[in-house]
Amino acid sequence: MTNSTRPDVPPWLYKLFTGHQYPYVRRQAKFAKPRTAEGDRPEPNQDEIREKFWEIYPHCTTKMLQEIKTGMIVAFKELGGYEAGTYQEFVDNPDAFLSREYGKKKIKVNFYDGDNFVCTINFKVAGWASHDDD
């Protein structure tokens, strides 16, 4: 995939996928490298991580989940999901998209590569301040 066919990806999304908090993309880039004579795989460089991101991201699906707190328990209710390539509007303006689609809520967005969890991010949407707002 060339740069000209790649969708715009804001810095927050790229960092979410490639940062140290969620190692899925970094780990996939590392395991794509051959083992050294010592049997280890070297850590990937930024270019290798970027290439692996562009292999994985275009195929990722999402799940939108509402955080619901009952006493000391936090549970999640699935609000919806999006197939790969169908959530660019969310990527471009997550708060406006989530507010319009789901209203005032605390929303967790999970990204998946097939059945594999990649990363997650939380949003307090439309002025959400506490679970008492629900």
The answer on pLDDT for 6 being more than 60 is yes
pLDDT (tens digit per residue) in 64-92: 999 998 889 989 999 999 999 999 999 99
- CA dihedral sign, ordered 29, 35, 40, 46: negative
pLDDT (tens digit per residue) in 96-120: 999 999 988 899 999 999 999 999 9
- Give this prediction's pTM: 0.86
For residues 13-26, give the mean pLDDT: 95
Check: CB of residue 30 under 8 Å from CB of residue 22: no
User: pLDDT band for position 130 (50/70/90)?
Assistant: low
User: Which two structure tokens, joined as six digits, stand for 105?
Assistant: 């809520």
Distance CA 60, CA 126 (A): 26
The answer on pLDDT for 132 being more than 70 is no
116-124 and 73-82 strand pairing: unpaired
